[in-house]
Amino acid sequence: MTNIQISVEISMYPLQDNYLESIEEFLHILHTTHNIKVQTNVMSTQVFGPLPLVFDTIKNAIQKIYGDGKQYPFVIKVLNSDVSEMAIKSFK
């Protein structure tokens, strides 16, 4: 098993009314997975950890959401390192 650490930024865009329940279900799966870090804000969610575990977790969450037959586009960005501890510079 690979020891590569990754950072993933993922955004979900449900194409129907009453979408909050679907987003909350997706986020619940991410936030309850052990051995990964998850940070959620109003624009996206960031997932940090071992490559296989992060991708398996995202795959399982997407499969669960897609089970209801509705349309859920995702935008996903991947970086080949864990930047969860990176300082964020303020430009004020």
Question: Distance (Å, rounded) from C-alpha 7 to C-alpha 14?
Answer: 23
Name the residue among 67, 60, 70, 51 with its Cα closest to residue 29.
60
Q: Which domain holds residue 49?
A: 5-79
Provide the pLDDT for residue 88.
73
Query: Average model confidence (pLDDT) for the chain?
Result: 92
Q: How many domains does the chain have?
A: 1
Q: What are the helix (H) ranges across 1-92?
A: 20-31, 51-66
What confidence tier does 89 reach under pLDDT thresholds 50, 70, 90?
A: confident
CATH number, domain of 33, equals: 3.30.70.930
For 34-64, the pLDDT digits (tens) are 999 999 999 999 999 999 999 999 999 999 9
Give yes or no for residue 6 having a pLDDT over 90.
yes
